[in-house]
Amino acid sequence: MLNTLTEKFNEFTLAVSTAMPDVANSVSAAAGTPDSPWWIWPIILFVTTFVLGIIAVLAGVGGGVLFVPIVGSFFPFHLDFVRGAGLIVALAGALAAGPGLLRKGLANLRLALPVALIASTFSIVGAFIGLALPQDILQMALGVTICAIATLFIFSKNSDKPNVPGPDGLAKSLKISGTYVEETTGKAVDWTIHRTIKGYLTFIMIGLIAGMFGLGAGWANVPVLNLLMGAPLKLAVGSSKFLLSITDTSAAWIYINNGAVIPIIAVPSVLGIMMGSQVGVKLLSKSKPKAVRYLVIGMLMFAGITSFLKGMGVM
């Protein structure tokens, strides 16, 4: 049973490696060589995060959600430093992409600011929980979480323009509504949200998980903003990316203050993700959300299973 699972997993690894040949092969090669010089890791980190930066922006997820499981599974760093760097990576990616999205109107302050407050507050709590848990438990929990995120991506059906009969009381009183221009059709899209209280409560859990695993939170922001609260998909993706810059700031400070951010790991990762994000944001307005989703689902499933097996001591 385990052999079959391992075989299937190896096949899957090969498929993903084919999608990202240079990066994956470099990591595998270095990981298999215990005598690799220390400086090889920052270089591989830089290349890896550059690629992740592009993909993360196109998928509307934080770089952290891809960075933490992949780097945590294939690089020799303790998970504390990976999560610390993951938050800085997610923060940097959001800061790089945010201005373009805000200027284009693809991110909306009235939509993002209230949920950012909730998520950033609870990400502090999550960060303390994450720093208190043993690494193997955390690695397994991370694997399960990542696989759950991938499953969420598979089964949730995002809607380009959800049907919102009208704003609920809270959305109305906070004036959360507007118009954005869909670039692919040139049409103006009026939007508002509903189920606002339910959505805000969900962001408590999102904040906790983001801080605990250093994941960022785009993977959850987008479906909650889009499916639950009814924001148009592109606006949900853009606003998600922007609010990550706020959510991750609070958790990042907890990791910095606890010595879980070290420059040799964090700086190459941040530089890679920022450069990748700049490329990604240029492609965003013309991207097809569904195509990007399939790529991200594959990467998340791969990274999640790897993380879980590593926590179990199998890998």
Partner 1 sequence: MAKEQLATQQAPGTSSPKPKMHVPAEQVAYAKMINYGQWIGVGILVVTFFIYMSGIMPGLVAPEQVAQTWNLSATEFLEVNQLPHGWAWLGMLGYGNFLSLLGIAWLAVLTIVAYLAFLVPAYMKQKDIPFLTIVIVEVLVLTLAASGILGSGGH
Residues 188-247 that bind partner 1 (CB under 8 A): 188, 245-246
**Any contact of residue 148 with partner 1 (CB under 8 A)?**
no
**Any contact of residue 261 with partner 1 (CB under 8 A)?**
yes
CA dist 193 and 229 (Å) reads 5
Out of 274, 284, 301, 305, the only residue in the binding site for partner 1 (CB under 8 A) is 274
Out of 148, 152, 256, 295, the only residue in the binding site for partner 1 (CB under 8 A) is 256
Return the amino acid letter for 27.
V
CB of 298 to partner 1, least distance (A): 29
Both tokens of 111, joined, read 């939509």
CA dist 203 and 75 (Å) reads 31
CA dist 82 and 79 (Å) reads 5
| Piece of 56-64, 148-156, 198-206, 261-269 that binds partner 1 (CB under 8 A) | 261-269
Tell me the Ramachandran region of residue 195: left when phi exceeds 0, alpha when psi lies from -120 to 50, beta otherwise: left
| Piece of 123-131, 152-160, 225-233, 302-310 that binds partner 1 (CB under 8 A) | 123-131
**Any contact of residue 289 with partner 1 (CB under 8 A)?**
no
CA dist 196 and 31 (Å) reads 46
Q: Using the minimum distance from each CB to partner 1, give the nearer residue, 81 or 153.
A: 81
CA dist 54 and 100 (Å) reads 14
Q: What residues contact 151, with CB distance under 8 A and at least 6 apart?
A: none
CB of 308 to partner 1, least distance (A): 20
Total residues at the site for partner 1 (CB under 8 A)? 75
**Any contact of residue 177 with partner 1 (CB under 8 A)?**
no
Out of 48, 49, 120, 192, the only residue in the binding site for partner 1 (CB under 8 A) is 120
**Any contact of residue 117 with partner 1 (CB under 8 A)?**
yes
Burial (CB < 10 A; 0-12, 13-18, 19+), residue 257, is exposed
Q: Using the minimum distance from each CB to partner 1, give the nearer residue, 95 or 301.
A: 95
In a 13 Å sphere around the CA of 210, the CA atoms on its Cβ side amount to: 39
**Any contact of residue 99 with partner 1 (CB under 8 A)?**
yes
Sign of CA dihedral 288, 18, 55, 196: positive
**Any contact of residue 56 with partner 1 (CB under 8 A)?**
no
Q: What residues contact 124, with CB distance under 8 A and at least 6 apart?
A: 211, 250, 251, 254
**Any contact of residue 104 with partner 1 (CB under 8 A)?**
yes
**Any contact of residue 30 with partner 1 (CB under 8 A)?**
no
**Any contact of residue 46 with partner 1 (CB under 8 A)?**
no
Out of 19, 47, 102, 140, the only residue in the binding site for partner 1 (CB under 8 A) is 102
CB of 228 to partner 1, least distance (A): 20
DSSP state of 47: H
CB of 251 to partner 1, least distance (A): 8
CA 112 distance to own-chain centroid: 16
